[in-house]
Amino acid sequence: MNPHVILRVVAKMLIPLIALFAFYVQFHGDFGPGGGFQAGVIFASSIILYALIFGMAAAKKAMPPSWVRIGMSLGVLLYGGTGVATWLLGGNFLDYTRFAPESTHAAGQHWGIFSVELGVLCTVACAMLAIFYAFGSRVQDLSDEDW
């Protein structure tokens, strides 16, 4: 029997909650503390926790390195793309009011902030995971006595 069975059971319950909390922080960032950066780090830490407890190979199955590589650049593209979109709509770079110029409650700003924060989430989560994968994959699996 695995000596870490309690750790594994508890982690299995906690990891989905941590990931869910990341998305709460992301989409609630307009109203309370938080935002893309914090949400990205929390989401990355849920996967890192999975990797620490179930091993690197399992984590790479759950979140393949190719996704990480694509997500890193996709986030920056989403952020920059929002700016380019406002250009194409006739405004300045990142001038979100252009998304809904007639709105009386600044809906354009809300859409712009939403999309930009999504880009930050993507880049931060994937960059943190990329750094973790890069370091973690170099370490051979340790037995408990090695610690």
Binding residues (CB under 8 A) for other proteins: these are 25, 29-38, 41-42, 44-45, 48, 52, 60, 65, 68-69, 72-73, 75-76, 79-80, 83, 93-94, 96, 105-106, 109-110, 112-113, 116-117, 119-120, 123-124, 126-128, 130-140, 142, 147
CB of 106 to other proteins, least distance (A): 5
Residue with tokens 């309690």: 6
CB of 22 to other proteins, least distance (A): 9
CB of 135 to other proteins, least distance (A): 4
CB of 107 to other proteins, least distance (A): 9
Instruction: Sort 123 into a burial class: Cβ within 10 Å, 0-12 / 13-18 / 19+.
Output: buried
Angle, alpha carbons 68-69-75 (nearest 5°):
80
Tallying the residues shown for the chain, one arrives at 147
State which residue, 65 or 87, has the beta carbon closest to other proteins: 65
39 within 8 A of 29, measured Cβ to Cβ = yes
State which residue, 1 or 66, has the beta carbon closest to other proteins: 66
State which residue, 1 or 51, has the beta carbon closest to other proteins: 51
**Number of other CB atoms surrounding residue 8 within 10 Å:** 13
Contacts of 40 (CB under 8 A, 6+ apart): 22, 120, 121, 122, 123, 124, 125, 128
